[in-house]
Amino acid sequence: MMWKPSWARPCVRRVGWFLMGMLLAAMVAGCAMRKAALPPMEGQEALAVEPADKAMPLAASAPAVARQAEVMPADVSAAAPSGERLVIKTADLAVVVEDPPSAQDQVIAWAEAHGGYVVNSSLTERTLPSGKRVLYGHLSFRVPADQFLPAVEQVVSLAVRVERKDLQGQDVTDEYVDLEARLRNLQAAEAELRRLMEQATDTEQVLDIYRELMQVREQIEVLQGRMRYLKESVAYALVEVEFIPVAADEPISVAGWEPQGVARDALRALVRAVQGLVNLLIWLVLFVLPYLLLLALVAAPFVLLARWLWRRLRRAKTADERQ
């Protein structure tokens, strides 16, 4: 065993404690850095990006700012409207009217008088099977959201009969709240990039930050455009109407004779005849054929026995005649 002087033992202990302290400090620092590198948890407020090291190049921090704008969590509770839902209302109508051009003009006048505007309006001439030429109308217009149901009622009031009435509502509240949150994050990133550009001194750094800034600005404009579209669609409901003339909806009649009714009766008779034929085939396949097969199996032994006896009798008769 190697001898150690007494004064060396306290030194060894101190060195050991010092190494253990350094190891513990390194573990704590590693955990802190790991936690700082993780993205903020949901519900936490996103902090502005600050350079970790004042000596770090500005151009190297610019992409980090743009990337953080994409991963920053959305504060939905702050952007959500208080108790109000954003709903896009649309209506699709097809109505039979006496005079499509007149009905179309009346609906346009009503919409403009109630703060709406025409999106599309057209008249199309078509030839009926009888040779008569009639006009079909199509109208697409927008009215304030609070005038949506009155607009539908106005169109229906002009109709002889309603062929189609489809009312729909699309809730876009969640999409709009998400767009608002993303817009705030991108605007914060834009402000940070502009600050970095003002502090940059090198031309290459300025160009790198400018490229990042243009990308963020493009994303901001796309979000703002989508938000404007949603706002307009929610504020003004869309109503599309197809005007069908009465002449095109009436059945053809010549001196009390209606070919349409005769054709319907003939089609029904044909369907009944086909049904009877199919029923007959089903009975033949599922009942008659199995029944005949069963009778054949039962009668086969008797038929064979009868043929055998008949041959015996003929042979005996032939033998008697030869004698």
What residues make up the domain containing 126?
Answer: 85-248
User: N- to C-terminal Cα distance for the chain?
Assistant: 140
Residue 166, domain member (yes or no): yes
Residue 103, domain member (yes or no): yes
Residue 168, domain member (yes or no): yes
- 76 touches 177 (CB < 8 A): yes
Q: Which residue has the tokens 């008797």?
A: 302
Give which of 213, 170, 220, 169 is closest to 193, Cα–Cα.
Answer: 213
Which of the two residues, 97 and 21, has the higher pLDDT score? 97
Residue 270, domain member (yes or no): no
Residue 296, domain member (yes or no): no
Which is it for strands 161-171 and 117-127: parallel, antiparallel or unpaired? Answer: unpaired
The mean per-residue pLDDT over the stretch 96-110 comes to: 93
Tell me the per-residue pLDDT of 6-61, one tens digit each, with 9 for 90 and over. 544 555 556 566 566 666 666 655 555 554 444 443 333 333 334 434 334 444 45
Residue 237, domain member (yes or no): yes
CA dist 301 and 6 (Å) reads: 122
Residue 164, domain member (yes or no): yes
Does the model's pTM come out above 0.75?
no
The mean predicted confidence, pLDDT, of the chain is 77
- Most distant pair of Cα atoms in the chain: their distance: 151
Tell me the per-residue pLDDT of 305-318, one tens digit each, with 9 for 90 and over. 888 888 888 888 88
Structural domain total, the chain: 1
Residue 30, domain member (yes or no): no
- Cβ partners under 8 Å of residue 63, min gap 6: 208, 212
